[in-house]
Structure 1
């Protein structure tokens, strides 16, 4: 039984995150188109072109001891040879502990992401990634809004 385009795009999207978790830079590089790509990491400026985008992932991988993505709210939209995936990245990450050399404290973060894929002869490749942080409401702000 052949897989549908939606299933193939979902698989390409999952592979993107699994590759990040493994820290496999070569495989990650192969997931992107060869030209005209862009990326926006939360809090970063727009990165354009293969060199800038892949350099950013090399930096992230070099400075992240542990990262795991739990994807929720995954939605795929298709239009001819272009696919848009929106999802919530529930990220758990940590760096090395300064004193022990082991893994430092783990930090959780929510990021909403849009991943744009283009169909190629080699399958679905990433054209653009945009991640935006989800701002958590501060308990103090909620108290300030309470009626007196």
Structure 2
């Protein structure tokens, strides 16, 4: 029998964050975040501080997103005592608003590099901070 390492547990917690977003599962999102002094930076947003403000931002995003799917690449996990750092690339596919009721809008792709910081708690690894930064494509740089 093999035991699950801290790195594997952290990677599972990181994956759960993106799965909760894909499902629009706000209750799961609440379970993933630490209680207390947390922070979040969504691409293009100012820094959000505090659990209430961070969870409200996710509720707003989930309520206004028809469809979203994350394909994580370049996932790197580093654990030091009770803190863990995950860096990854979020390859995001999302549905823009539909022009007509009952239809899915056009799909839009986006690349975001993310840093997620976790803290070990008695209930498992909880998200302390998320920072997402858009990756500019060559066309956008011109």
Contact 1:38 1:129 in 2 (8 A): yes
Q: TM-score, normalised by structure 2?
A: 0.96
Change (3 A) 1:120 1:22: same
Q: Deviations over 1:53-84 (max 9, x none)?
A: 00000000000010000000000011100000
Aligned counterparts of 1:95 and 1:27: Cα–Cα separation in 2: 24
Aligned counterparts of 2:81 and 2:88: Cα–Cα separation in 1: 21
Q: Does 1:128 align with 2:136?
A: no
Contact 2:21 2:62 in 1 (8 A): yes
The equivalent residue for 1:72 is 73
Aligned-pair RMSD on alpha carbons?
A: 1.3
Q: Which moved more, 1:2-11 or 1:92-101?
A: 92-101
Task: List alignment gaps of at least 5 residues for structure 2.
Answer: none
Q: TM-score, normalised by structure 1?
A: 0.92
Q: Does 1:15 align with 2:16?
A: yes
Task: Return the offset for 1:2.
Answer: 1.7
Aligned counterparts of 2:140 and 2:7: Cα–Cα separation in 1: 40
Contact 1:72 1:90 in 2 (8 A): yes
Moved over 3 A (4+): none
Q: Which one has the largest radius of gyration?
A: 1
Change (3 A) 1:100 1:3: same
Contact 1:63 1:95 in 2 (8 A): no
The equivalent residue for 2:91 is 90
Task: List alignment gaps of at least 5 residues for structure 1.
Answer: 142-148
Task: Return the offset for 1:137.
Answer: 1.0
